[in-house]
């Protein structure tokens, strides 16, 4: 078991984030348990890259002095597996909000799906979703979106190293993505639907790796709590 001094001196924790938890909730839980189980009253804990509440998978947490390295971990490439549904969109680009528009899909076949995915490989420009934590004039975009407000967004340059279609079942598609820091998979899915002259929204997402760190080596929040006993 790690000692209070170990956590203060700095540790890197690999956590498998559960669905419907925010990344901030995971940080708060870990900090609170360090206080409750080990009596550490004041300690810095931060995460290296937000995951949406509906996403699961690898979350890197840094404690104590290792929080100074958070930006180093944030800059590493990310890997994901996910699922999308063709023919409809939502304002949040995922299942956080209800379907707002439906589109034709009778012109789409498996060859077109795979060929279109290839067009996203490389350096591309991407707009963040309105339902995101990006700040505009000091306010989070999701705060504006939930009030029904919109604002002009600037595209960001990102890099998609791989966008592989792993399964096609009617309108439901499974995929794997390797990408640079700052990539929104929800936006990638939304743009993919548009490129197919239809629509699409994300239905599931799991982060499997950040740089050399794998979710296979991560603990659940419950396992981390048990390790403190």
Tell me the domain boundaries of the chain.
4-75+213-227, 78-210
User: What is the Cβ-side half-sphere exposure of residue 53, based on CA atoms within 13 angstroms?
Assistant: 13
Question: Residue-wise pLDDT tens for the chain (229 aa)?
Answer: 689 999 999 999 999 999 999 999 999 999 999 999 999 988 999 999 999 999 999 999 999 999 999 999 999 999 999 999 999 999 999 999 999 999 999 999 999 999 999 999 999 999 888 666 555 555 655 565 565 656 666 889 999 999 999 999 999 999 999 999 999 999 999 999 999 999 999 999 999 999 999 999 999 999 999 999 8
Catalytic center residues: 52
CA distance 91 to 95: 9
Q: 3-state DSSP call for residue 202?
A: strand
User: Which one is the CATH code of 4-75+213-227: 3.30.2350.10, 3.40.50.720, 3.40.50.2000, 1.20.140.10?
Assistant: 3.30.2350.10
Cβ atoms 122, 137 nearer than 8 A: no
Q: What's the pLDDT score for residue 132?
A: 62
CA distance 207 to 51: 8
Q: What's the pLDDT score for residue 2?
A: 84
Selection from 217, 134, 116, 112 nearest residue 183 by Cα: 134
Q: What's the pLDDT score for residue 106?
A: 97
User: What is the Cβ-side half-sphere exposure of residue 20, based on CA atoms within 13 angstroms?
Assistant: 0
pTM of the entire predicted model: 0.91
In this structure, how many other beta carbons lie within 10 angstroms of the beta carbon of residue 115? Answer: 13
Element (DSSP H or E) covering residue 34: helix 23-38
In this structure, how many other beta carbons lie within 10 angstroms of the beta carbon of residue 93? Answer: 27
Q: For domain 78-210, give the CATH number.
A: 3.30.2350.10
CA distance 67 to 145: 31
- Taken in order 192, 193, 194, 196, the sign of the CA dihedral is positive
Q: What's the pLDDT score for residue 153?
A: 67
Q: What's the pLDDT score for residue 143?
A: 60
Q: What's the pLDDT score for residue 141?
A: 57
């Amino acid at each position: 078991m790690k000692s209070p001094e170990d956590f203060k001196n700095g540790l890197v924790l690999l956590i498998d984030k559960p669905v419907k938890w925010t990344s901030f909730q995971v940080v708060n839980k870990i900090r609170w348990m360090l206080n409750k189980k080990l009596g550490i009253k004041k300690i810095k804990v931060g995460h290296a890259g937000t995951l949406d509440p509906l996403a699961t998978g690898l979350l890197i947490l840094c404690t104590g002095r290792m929080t100074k390295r958070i930006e180093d971990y944030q800059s590493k490439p990310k890997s994901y597996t996910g699922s999308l549904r063709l023919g409809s969109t939502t304002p949040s680009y995922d299942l956080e909000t209800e379907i707002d528009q439906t589109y034709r899909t009778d012109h789409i076949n498996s060859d077109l799906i795979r060929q279109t995915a290839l067009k996203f490989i490389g350096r591309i420009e991407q707009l963040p979703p309105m339902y995101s934590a990006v700040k505009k004039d000091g306010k989070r975009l999701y705060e504006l979106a939930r009030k029904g407000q919109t604002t002009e967004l600037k595209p960001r340059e990102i890099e998609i190293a791989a966008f592989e279609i792993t399964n096609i079942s009617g309108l439901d598609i499974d995929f794997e993505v390797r990408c640079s820091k700052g990539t929104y998979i929800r936006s990638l899915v939304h743009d993919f639907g548009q490129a197919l002259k239809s629509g699409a929204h994300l239905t599931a997402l799991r982060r499997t790796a950040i740089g050399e760190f794998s979710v296979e080596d991560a603990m659940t929040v419950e396992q981390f709590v048990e390790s403190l006993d």
